[in-house]
Amino acid sequence: MKQRTRERRRRRRKRQMMQAALCLAVCVAGITLMAAVWHVTSFALRRMPGEKEPDQEEVSADPATDRLQETFREQDASSTAQKEDILLVNKTHPLPENYTPSLKRMNDYGADVDEQAYDALNAMLKAGNKEGLSFWIASSYRSMERQRELLDEDIEALVHQGYSYSQAYEEVVRETMPVGCSEHATGLAVDIVSKDYQILDEQQGRTDEIIWLQKNCSQYGFILRYPEGKEDITKVSYESWHFRYVGVEAAEEIMSLGITLEEYLDSAE
């Protein structure tokens, strides 16, 4: 009898010990899980939404330039121009005589450009600078009065060489736009050259700066306005240095297709 009682007590103590061990294991597991959840939650709260992991974060070599490029991208995304909003200026589409652009000064280059193109142009040139390139803006906004002066000067020079006025005029307007027909009067066009070679000639197109610009300008909303082989459409000789702001969407389509602004706008009709 006593033997059976001791055996029951022994089995009961064994069950109690097993239950206690199981309870302890469950408690430890619960505490571990709670600690893990707390750690992950507190870490997540310390990070801003969308923030990269520390080991994935990109280190900017020039934070000011990156902020400028980001500002340009945000502005361009919020104000993408429709085809019908893009201003066409050429020999058959002159500007109104009272046209007045909203100009901003680029102090580093001594150039005035329309405010629509200001941030994009700054971002593009600074991106090129980071690639070791050095640019200069040879021409930006030009008033109609100044355009008239340039035209008259070139015509007069040819007349002195024996051309008639009409012959001189026809020769000059192959390179210099008639008054009211120059994109420079919009403030949206710039002649950009290599700072180390500022001559507007065939060699300019072989400089590293112009090669880079022609390859990357569309990312910033610019196009090569007078491409080679399109003279019959633009009525202007190839100018490797003349870039026009039209917005990223239009620029990327124009440059990728190898067409002119005239062809792009005609496709919308």
Give strand pairing partners of 222.
245
Q: How far apart are CA 264 and CA 156, in angstroms?
A: 36
- Catalytic annotation present for 239: yes
Q: What is the 3-state secondary structure (H, E, C) of 216-240?
A: HHHHHCEEECCCCCCHHHHCCCCCC
**Distances from the Cα of 162 to the Cα of 148, 169, 173, 176, 208, angstroms:** 21, 13, 17, 20, 39
User: What is the per-residue burial (b if ≥16 Cβ within 10 Å, else e) of 90-113?
Assistant: beeebbeeeeebeebebeebebbb
* Closest by CA position to 219, among listed 109, 85, 112, 127: 127
Please pick, among 239, 249, 262, 263, the residue that the annotation labels catalytic: 239
Two tokens, residue 192: 């950009």
Q: Which residues are designated catalytic?
A: 239
